[in-house]
């Protein structure tokens, strides 16, 4: 195990915008060791007053939509054209067989990885829903304290509940493909309702006309949804990372959204709601961790699992038996 330092060390290094210190702190919040978790909580608490000053953007999309390619092009625009410091928290899928993950986002974003204004941190999704690592919210706090002005949270992709990422970002961006069958049939209504903007990617060459047609379809579909509390009407754009087109329009859409929601109280209320959601999720996760860490549960669980597998005991009855140890 790598050497651990006092909380003050990490706080000082992060406030000095030191990337090594930031990476070490994120490693702590990703750790499942009780000692690391306690140290991480202390660091987060001290850095909380220095957070909250970034634009948090969630980016998700169907498999094959080219999330990494889009993020590299969009991130390059944000850092070079807008002169902003960017952190990319890229969540890699975790194997349910081995528990391992590829963590290959830096190799898929070579240009952005070499950009001094950008910081890419791939993290394993673990067993969390929505393709979002359990530590992502804490990592956002750390990145903000380290001076990053824009934060991208890239999820594994559509297929699990994306509520998790929606509950920790300011702007939710859904990437879609054109010409891949009936686009609207395969999209979950809930994900579309959460999207603040939809971007049709790979809008180049022979696919350009299909992308334009898909944009019209999506825009019509979005008009059928109830108006959001923010007062914002979701937009649909087309983009080609290959030809570097449509990137400026996506950023302008985000700026227009922020102008809309920051004029009233919605933006602050949304962040406050997200903090409460974070509280409740932390309670659930902590209770689960403590429950499964109990010696009685560790001792009894394997035998009950065996009985459930053999059909001797129902899952409900086995759960009730285990929950006797929850007090």
Query: 169 and 289 share a domain?
Result: no
Residue 75 belongs to a domain = yes
Residue 225's pLDDT is: 81
Which of 54, 234, 73, 56 lies closest to 147 in space, CA to CA?
A: 54
Which residues does the chain have with pLDDT short of 70?
1, 92-108, 124-134, 156-161, 179-189
Tally of structural domains, the chain: 2
CA 145, CA 224: separation in Å to the nearest integer? 40
Residue 31 belongs to a domain = no
CA 198, CA 239: separation in Å to the nearest integer? 10
Beta bridge mates, 4: none
Residue 45 belongs to a domain = no
What is the extent of the structural domain holding 217?
Answer: 51-264
Query: 242 and 284 share a domain?
Result: no
Query: 231 and 319 share a domain?
Result: no
Query: 177 and 287 share a domain?
Result: no
- Give me the helix-helix angle, 266-293 and 247-262, nearest 10°: 100
Q: Is the dihedral of CA 96, 97, 103, 105 positive or negative?
A: negative
Query: 174 and 245 share a domain?
Result: yes
Query: 258 and 319 share a domain?
Result: no
- Domain's final residue, options 244, 264, 284: 264
Residue 42 belongs to a domain = no
- Domain's final residue, options 214, 229, 264: 264
Q: Are 62 and 177 in contact (CB under 8 A)?
A: yes
CA 87, CA 147: separation in Å to the nearest integer? 10
Residue 24 belongs to a domain = no
Query: 290 and 167 share a domain?
Result: no
Q: Are 105 and 154 in contact (CB under 8 A)?
A: yes
Residue 132's pLDDT is: 53
Q: Is the dihedral of CA 271, 273, 277, 280 positive or negative?
A: positive
66: domain CATH number is 3.40.50.300
- Domain's final residue, options 211, 230, 264: 264
List Cβ neighbours of 191 (8 Å cut-off, separation of 6 or more).
Answer: 60, 158, 162, 174
Residue 43 belongs to a domain = no
Query: 161 and 225 share a domain?
Result: yes
CA 107, CA 69: separation in Å to the nearest integer? 11
Query: 318 and 198 share a domain?
Result: no
Query: 320 and 212 share a domain?
Result: no
Which of 174, 202, 219, 195 lies closest to 73 in space, CA to CA?
A: 202
Residue 36's pLDDT is: 93
Residue 96's pLDDT is: 39
Query: 282 and 220 share a domain?
Result: no
Residue 224 belongs to a domain = yes
CA 194, CA 209: separation in Å to the nearest integer? 26
Query: 158 and 287 share a domain?
Result: no
């Amino acid at each position: 195990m790598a050497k651990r330092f006092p909380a003050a060390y990490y706080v000082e290094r992060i406030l000095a915008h030191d990337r090594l210190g930031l990476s070490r702190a994120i490693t702590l919040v990703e750790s499942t060791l009780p000692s690391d978790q306690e140290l991480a909580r202390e660091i987060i608490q001290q850095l909380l007053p220095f957070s909250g000053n970034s634009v948090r953007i969630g980016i998700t999309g169907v498999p094959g939509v080219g999330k990494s390619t889009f993020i590299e092009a969009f991130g390059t625009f944000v850092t070079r054209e807008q002169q902003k410091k960017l952190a990319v928290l890229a969540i890699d899928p975790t194997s349910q067989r081995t528990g391992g993950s590829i963590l290959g986002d830096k190799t898929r974003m070579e240009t952005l990885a070499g950009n001094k204004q950008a910081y890419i941190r791939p993290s394993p999704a673990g067993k969390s829903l929505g393709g979002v690592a359990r530590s992502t919210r804490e990592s956002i706090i750390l990145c903000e304290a380290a001076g990053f002005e824009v934060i991208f949270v890239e999820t594994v992709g559509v297929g699990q509940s994306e509520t998790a990422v929606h509950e920790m970002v300011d702007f939710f961006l859904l990437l879609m493909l054109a010409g891949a069958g009936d686009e609207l049939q395969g999209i979950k209504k809930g994900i579309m309702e959460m999207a603040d903007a939809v971007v049709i990617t790979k809008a180049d060459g022979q696919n350009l006309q299909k992308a334009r047609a898909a944009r019209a379809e999506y825009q019509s579909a979005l008009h059928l949804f109830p108006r959001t509390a923010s007062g914002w009407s979701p937009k649909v754009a087309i983009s080609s990372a290959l030809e570097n087109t449509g990137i400026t329009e996506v950023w302008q859409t985000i700026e227009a959204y922020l102008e809309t929601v920051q004029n009233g109280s919605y933006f602050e209320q949304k962040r406050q709601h997200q903090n409460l959601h974070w509280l409740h999720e932390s309670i659930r996760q902590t209770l689960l961790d403590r429950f499964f860490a109990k010696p009685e549960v560790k001792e009894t669980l394997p035998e009950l699992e065996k009985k459930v597998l053999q059909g001797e005991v129902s899952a409900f009855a086995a759960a009730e038996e285990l929950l006797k140890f929850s007090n």
